[in-house]
Amino acid sequence: MVKKILILLRILWTAGAQRIAINEYNWLKKLGYEPELVFLRKGNTKGYDEMLKDINYKVVREGNGILTPLFYAGTKLFARDRGIESTIDLDLIMKVPEIAKMEGADYLICHDQFAGIGGLRAKEKYNIPYSVFIHEKVVTYSFPFLGKFVNDLERKVLTKASKVFAVTEKVKETVYQKHEITAEVNYPGMDKISEAPYSRKENLLISVSLWDFGRRPWDYVKLMKNVEDYKLLMVGNWRLRSARKFFGKIKGGKDG
């Protein structure tokens, strides 16, 4: 019987996957399970301290390690617009089976296919089942040899998973188009904090993200030029300092 569930994330920073995982933790606990959040590495961005206050979680490593430059070089081959904070830490991923065994895990929920490599290893080594939650569209990597290796490894990770989830229908479609694997859409939803009557509300649009070039924050500025009587509030953190500076120039000479 499944009782202890590890929710595995590669990085602790203020991104959507981490918020979804925290909400996942709270619901699993309400349902009678024993969840634990495991972050393989703590990033530099801050902002979720309050949300984690009553959460059972652990961080495997604070910041980068000695092999980070090597793993970052590999990461950049497949995601050129990502900074060093986005590094895929293979050294930490390889530790997942022992972490799962030490924590007495009956099941792993891996947030993204790269965390899923750790889930795959835990299943192969200790027969611990796992699921994978895909947060961004999957793409086909075209680098000679290395691209094929990563594509095949990703397919194995998703094939061996007990369940594959996708954050949206569009993401689900890319999983099927690439691997012919049917993911189940698991929308993150939203938490109702308070409610005010419309008469007291402002004409305000809010966009929240971990901003980088791929999320094109400058498009929101262009959009607002065609929306009358509304203000735009963009919140979150920046994945790349260069993206923040570029955005500052677009919106009027400030660096964000």
Q: What is the average pLDDT across 231-246?
A: 75
Confidence of residue 250 (pLDDT cuts 50, 70, 90): low
Lowest model confidence (mean pLDDT) among 57-71, 178-192, 221-235: 221-235
- The CATH number for 4-185, chosen from 3.40.718.10, 2.30.30.30, 2.40.170.20, 3.40.50.2000, is 3.40.50.2000
Nearest alpha-carbon partner for 174 in 153, 160, 158: 158
Over range 120-133, report the average pLDDT: 98
Tell me which DSSP letter residue 47 carries.
-
| Burial of 217 from C-beta contacts in 10 A (0-12 / 13-18 / 19+) | buried
Question: For the chain, what is the mean pLDDT?
Answer: 88
Q: At 20, is the secondary structure helix, strand, or coil?
A: helix
% of the chain beyond a pLDDT of 70: 94
Tens of pLDDT, residue by residue over 194-211, are 677 777 778 888 887 777
Reply yes or no on whether the pLDDT at 74 is more than 70: yes
Domain residue spans of the chain: 4-185, 198-251
Split at pLDDT 50, 70, 90, the class of 251 is: low
Say if residue 192's pLDDT is above 70.
no
pLDDT confidence of residue 42: 92
